[in-house]
Amino acid sequence: MNNELALKRKRGFGFYARIYRKVIVQDLKSKMSYRADFIISTFGMILTNVVGFMSFYILFKNFPSINGWNYHEMLFLYGFSLIALTPLQCLFDNNWSLRYSVESGDFIKYCFRPINVFFYFISEVFDVKGLGQFVFGIAVLAYSWLHLGIPVTVVTMIQLILLLITASLFMIAIMNAAAATCFWIVRSGYVMVVMFRFKDYARYPVSIFDGIFKVIFTFVIPIAFIAYYPGIVILRPDEIPLLSKLSPIIGIAFFYLSYKFWMLGAKRFDGTGS
């Protein structure tokens, strides 16, 4: 056991990157052997987002703005949230299977390899259909960007990429923590379902909600950091709140805490054999 721990400490980013590339290639090969399923699921993902787009269109046909936010600003947040949620959809989708693995006892196999347990489990699945969401998100973001007249510069592009990465960390962290509850709670699937549903509120500016919901969506279930706080940096650069400036630090900290919580559960499973 001590030798395995020593090996885990010695292996760095390069090692895990090589392993992940090989695992992804094999997973994609297996998925592409069922092309009809891939095409149907990808089309379903795009269709779901088209429905969301249409809901915005219908809403703003009746209301020119909502609490000072116009149609194209809301579309910007919607497209931004879709792109920010793509890493969760593509890279961390196996979290949905965690409770089944724990309940059946199959999770024990992840505990006996000289490799990080979290990486080992998460890397097994790459959800290709999330790429359809990514493409649709880019199209919506580009459409709104054009109509808002936001200048395209090197600085704004770098900002956009960094802000999207930061935003992704928040939803990934939420779902990591929700998935890990299965180590303590039997039939914990409802926790993940409820937490995942909150992503639908991420596309709206937190300023349109009442006081208690602002607090919840900022400090308890921080979905406001998925689109609103990072998006406002580009949408309204003269009105950047402190939380927007701190969002990269908060995002990294939140992701790290969710990872430690996940690993705490994994160690508990290993320790109890339950």
| Rounded Cα–Cα distance for residues 155 and 97 (Å) | 40
| Rounded Cα–Cα distance for residues 154 and 162 (Å) | 12
Please tell me what DSSP assigns to residue 198.
G
Q: What are phi and psi of 66, to 5 degrees?
A: -125, 110
User: Which residues, 6+ apart, have CB-to-CB distance to 107 below 8 Å?
Assistant: 98, 101, 121, 266, 269
Name the one residue in this structure whose structure tokens are 């196996």: 94
Neighbouring C-beta atoms of residue 264, cutoff 10 Å: 13
Amino acid (one-letter) located at 175: M
| Rounded Cα–Cα distance for residues 184 and 22 (Å) | 32
**Beta-bridge partners for 102:** none
The pairing of strands 69-70 and 65-66 is antiparallel
From first to last of the 274 residues of the chain, give the pLDDT tens digit.
445 555 555 567 788 888 888 777 777 777 666 666 667 777 777 777 777 778 777 877 777 777 888 889 999 999 999 999 999 999 999 999 999 999 998 999 888 878 899 999 999 888 887 888 898 899 999 999 999 999 999 999 999 999 999 999 999 999 999 999 999 998 888 999 999 999 888 988 998 888 899 999 999 999 999 999 999 999 999 889 999 999 999 999 999 999 999 999 999 885 444 4
User: Which residues, 6+ apart, have CB-to-CB distance to 41 below 8 Å?
Assistant: 129
Tokens at 135, concatenated:
């493409």
Amino acid (one-letter) located at 31: K
Tell me the chain's radius of gyration from C-alpha atoms.
20
| Rounded Cα–Cα distance for residues 228 and 92 (Å) | 23
| pLDDT given at position 22 | 79
Please tell me what DSSP assigns to residue 65.
E
Burial class (CB in 10 A: 0-12, 13-18, 19+), 133: buried
In 3-state terms, what secondary structure has residue 148? helix
